Amino acid sequence: MKRPLVGKTAIVTGAGRGLGRVEALELGRLGAAVVVNDYGQGGRDGSGEASSGPAEEVAEEIRAAGGRATAHVGDVADFDTARALVQLAVDAYGALDILVNNAGILRDRMVFSMTEDEWDSVIRVHLKGHFNTTRFAAAHWRERSKAAGGGPVHGRIVNTSSEAFLAGSPGQPNYAAAKGGIVGLTLSTAGALAKYGVTANVICPRARTRMTEDVFPDIDLAEDRPDPLSPEHVAPLVGYLASPQATAVNGQVFVVHGGMVAILERPRVAAKLDAVGDVFGFGELDGLLTPYFDERRGEGFAALEVLSLKRG
């Protein structure tokens, strides 16, 4: 078996269950030493007592398969905890090479009913949690590059967003905003760290986990058919993006599920309208925009995307 990550060290956050768990196992299978982070709370809304159980169990799975792993229990949305997590990887294995951010919670509510705490808590865990670990990993790679005379280092960031950032997800304004923020954070990071040899990419997985049990209910499958929404379909892409083979892949957004990987383009212009004079007036805009959107009423974002592809 090819093991392209031998000698590398990875952190996977939210790795006690679901996607994070299979990603940690895959990185271990490919040869990486893995720091398995999870806060261990029982509720998918971030409630419940912290527990070392989930992280320890996944770390033990990796060790039982012949790999190296260390469990870490902590809330990555806490700045100092994220600092300590990165330092743990460096102290335990000599360096950090791969960061997979996966930790998240859900507190769903329509925007007109959402409380301040429901908004803040989801933004905190998803977006701030991704920033915190990225900040300290980036500093580590920058220092390593300086110590190597300014040369490139092996640094890989794989951040977890969602198609909710595109579609809006009406009952999840906090989650959709956080996932959109993660894309922006990742693209900014990709540009900032490229000169050090570090890459940063985003995955938008479709997978049936504790977080998505209401979105993706169980389905009946023939015995010989794999579940297209199994988290195991996502892990190979994470392993690839973490590898030396993915050196040229930077600042990309992927949708992945069920044996399919789609590479998203950056938004294109769907239509361009020019004023007759130097400045648009209300009547001119009404005459142009109202019929334009009337023709596409109810089609939403998908229609604009299709139109932009047709117009090139």
Q: Is 175 a catalytic residue?
A: yes
Residue 310 has pLDDT above 70, yes or no: no
Residue 312 has pLDDT above 90, yes or no: no
Q: What is the mean pLDDT of residues 123-129?
A: 97
Q: Provide the pLDDT for residue 304.
A: 35
Q: Nearest to residue 74, comparing CAs of 63, 65, 66, 84?
A: 84
Q: Is 8 a catalytic residue?
A: no
- 3-state SS string for the chain: CCCCCCCCEEEECCCCCHHHHHHHHHHHHCCCEEEEECCCCCCCCCCCCCCCHHHHHHHHHHHHCCCCEEEECCCCCCHHHHHHHHHHHHHHHCCCCEEEECCCCCCCCCCCCCCHHHHHHHHHHHHHHHHHHHHHHHHHHHHHHHHCCCCCCCEEEEEECCCHHHHCCCCCHHHHHHHHHHHHHHHHHHHHHHHHCEEEEEEEECCCCHHHCCCCCCCCCCCCCCCCCCHHHCHHHHHHHCCHHHCCCCCCEEEEECCEEEECCCCCCCCCCCCCCCCCCHHHHHHHHHHHHHCCCCCHHHHHHHHHHHHC
Q: Provide the pLDDT for residue 199.
A: 98
- Percent of the chain residues past pLDDT 90, beyond the cut: 73
Q: Provide the pLDDT for residue 267.
A: 87
Find the catalytic residue in 161, 162, 169, 243. 162
Find the catalytic residue in 39, 121, 169, 175. 175
**Lookup result for tokens 């870490």:** 72
Q: Provide the pLDDT for residue 228.
A: 72
Domains along the chain with CATH numbers? 9-264 (3.40.50.720)
Find the catalytic residue in 161, 179, 196, 243. 179
Q: Provide the pLDDT for residue 306.
A: 32
Residue 142 has pLDDT above 70, yes or no: yes
Q: Provide the pLDDT for residue 221.
A: 54
Instruction: Give the tens place of pLDDT for each residue, 47-60.
Output: 667 788 999 999 99
Which range is least confidently modeled, 116-125, 229-238, 279-288?
229-238
Q: Is 169 a catalytic residue?
A: no
Residue 119 has pLDDT above 80, yes or no: yes
- Percent of the chain residues past pLDDT 70, beyond the cut: 85
Instruction: Give the tens place of pLDDT for each residue, 66-85.
Output: 999 999 999 999 999 999 99
Which range is least confidently modeled, 16-25, 42-51, 202-211, 275-284?
42-51
Q: What is the mean pLDDT of residues 226-248?
A: 90
Task: State the chain's mean pLDDT as an integer.
Answer: 89
**Entry pTM:** 0.87
Q: Provide the pLDDT for residue 127.
A: 97
Q: Provide the pLDDT for residue 302.
A: 45
Instruction: Give the tens place of pLDDT for each residue, 103-115.
Output: 989 898 999 999 9
